[in-house]
Amino acid sequence: MDKNFINYHRPAIGTEEIREVIACLKSGWLTTATRTKQFEADFAKFADAKFAVAVNSCTAALHLALEAVGIREGDLVIVPTMTFAATAEVVRYFNAIPVLVDVNEDDFCIDLDQAEDIIKRIKSREKVVGVPKKHNGVKAIIPVHYGGQPYDVNKCRKLCRKHGLFLIDDAAHVCPAYYKDEKGRWQYAGKGADIACYSFYANKTITTGEGGMATTDNQAWADRMRIMSLHGISKDAWKRFTKSGTWYYEIVAPGFKYNMTDIAASLGIHQLKKANKFMAERKKLAEAYGKALKGTLGIILPKEKPGTKHSWHLYVIRIDSAVTGIHRNKAYDKMKAAGIGCSVHYTPLHLHPYYRKKFGFKKGDFPVAEKLADQCLSMPLYPGLPRKSFQRIISTLKGIVK
């Protein structure tokens, strides 16, 4: 790899994680066991949840969450179009229907006013793009804390209570992030959901390489997700090869293979201890971006909304080509050619071939998401980004849009 290339992301792995992984390897027990259970307990406490279920991805967590609350074929689930594939594809696992919604221009998060309008139109049997004539009604909503900016949790909870919806958080970007509840108290970002689902993928705020977690205060849902995460085998299946276990087990449901390994949990245990430290470092870097790019014509900067604490998983600028004279795609190419890794989050779901063909979506259906997708560029942001690299990123970007 080119030593002069500035990576878009680089995980912050310390000696503690390395030692724990080595200890795990030497223990002879690599898959789900005591380290995974410790990580679950630590995470539940950290996220202020009664229960936590460790799995091998946030996608798995979302799938298990929908299964636990009883999503079935023909159900409708509200999903923002500005998100990664997993948020909607887990709905399709049940042959249920993702009902796509536009986002707010100021934070990229779900437009809850439009979501309620669509729910009302569905109840009135009006035509809604992507919704078939035959369906079971809206059963759940999966909002996304985009980039680490909490969506309006209080407003979303009111919406769910009003229409009888399950609230499943796609919290892939918020470990941690915070919001003020209706009483003005700071709450962990996933606290407002029935079930919150987190990602520990390699580029996330904390990482286990691949991995995820589902948290909830509902024991029945937690028990169901735990059982379904390992083939539907009766509880404590992971203990059957230990001294205290037995060979005998029962399959109580057709489950999945979603369990987290102890190797992954070895990373997670120590990454979690550093989560607030990482958050502080990310915030400092985000503030440095804001200061360095403030006043640059044609660049629109992200902001932390009042009553929230942003995780800064992503630092997403917008390039207004009408002002800069250069399109985001060209800017991305020039940054890459200059040895700087950037990314784009995301192409809206309704513009992807599968959703266009399957549900009849077309360009123009969600104009705000399309506008943002045409302008957004995710900048390198991670703990340990060298100051010289940061200065090179700023000077290169300014030169490109000058």
- For 151-186, how does the pLDDT look when each residue is reduced to its tens digit (9 = 90+)? 999 999 999 999 999 999 999 999 999 999 999 999
**End-to-end alpha-carbon separation of the chain, Å?**
30
CB 96 within 8 A of CB 74: yes
Rounded to an integer, what distance in angstroms lies between the CA atom of residue 47 and that of residue 213?
11
- For residue 345, give both structure tokens: 């989050």
Q: Please say if the pLDDT value at position 212 is more than 70.
A: yes
204 is catalytic: yes
Residue 214 confidence (pLDDT) above 90:
yes
Is the backbone of residue 232 left (phi > 0), alpha (psi -120 to 50) or beta? left
Start-end ranges of CATH 3.90.1150.10 in the chain? 275-401
pLDDT number for residue 243: 65
Per-residue pLDDT band for 241 (boundaries 50, 70, 90) equals: low
Q: Given a cut of 80, is residue 238 above it in pLDDT?
A: no
Instruction: Tell me: pLDDT of 245 over 70.
Output: no
Q: What is the structure's pLDDT at 250?
A: 86
Average per-residue pLDDT for the chain: 96
The answer to whether residue 235 scores a pLDDT higher than 90 is: no
Which of 183, 204, 362, 402 is catalytic? The answer is 204
Question: Where residue 303 falls among pLDDT bands split at 50, 70, 90?
Answer: very high
Q: Give the per-residue pLDDT at 143.
A: 98
Angle between helices 275-293 and 387-401 (to 10 degrees): 40
The mean per-residue pLDDT over the stretch 206-225 comes to 98
DSSP string, 245-256: --S---B-S---
User: Residue 367's pLDDT is what?
Assistant: 98
The residues facing 166 across adjacent strands are 140
Mean pLDDT of the region 39-58: 98
What average pLDDT does the segment 54-65 reach?
98
| 38: confidence class by pLDDT, cuts 50, 70, 90 | very high
| pLDDT score of 16 | 98
Q: In what order do the strands lie in the sheet with 138-141?
A: 51-55, 212-216, 195-199, 166-170, 138-141, 76-80, 97-101
State the pLDDT confidence band at 191, using cuts at 50, 70 and 90.
very high
Q: In the chain, which residues fall in CATH 3.40.640.10?
A: 15-273
Residue 297: both structure tokens together: 């014509």
pLDDT at residue 244 above 70? no
Q: Would you call 31 helix, strand, or coil by DSSP? A: coil
Using one digit for the tens of pLDDT, what is the confidence trace for 324-369?
Answer: 999 999 999 999 999 999 999 999 999 999 999 999 999 999 999 9
Separation of alpha carbons 212 and 202, rounded Å: 11
Mean predicted confidence (pLDDT) in 282-311: 98
**Dist CA 393 CA 386 (whole Å):** 11
Give 182-250 as a DSSP string: TTS-EEEGGGGSSEEEEE-BTTSSS--BS-EEEEES-HHHHHHHHHHTBTTBPSSGGGGGSTT--S---
The helix-helix angle for 262-273 and 34-46 (nearest 10°) equals 30
Decide if domain 275-401 falls under CATH 3.50.50.60.
no
- How far apart, in whole angstroms, are the C-alpha atoms of residue 192 and residue 151? 11
Length reported for the chain: 402
CATH class of the structural domain 15-273: alpha beta
% of the chain at pLDDT higher than 90: 93
* Nearest CA among 55, 52, 58 for reference residue 40: 52
pLDDT of 9 over the 70 cut: yes
- For residue 316, what is the enclosing H or E element? strand 315-319
Question: Per-residue pLDDT for 264 more than 80?
Answer: yes
Q: What is the pLDDT of residue 240?
A: 60
Predicted local distance difference test score (pLDDT) of residue 2: 76
Element (DSSP H or E) covering residue 178: strand 178-180
For residue 19, pLDDT over 90 is answered with: yes
Mean pLDDT, rounded, for 284-309: 98
For 57, the token pair is 């991805």
Query: In terms of Cα–Cα distance, which of 116, 119, 109 is closest to 83?
Result: 109
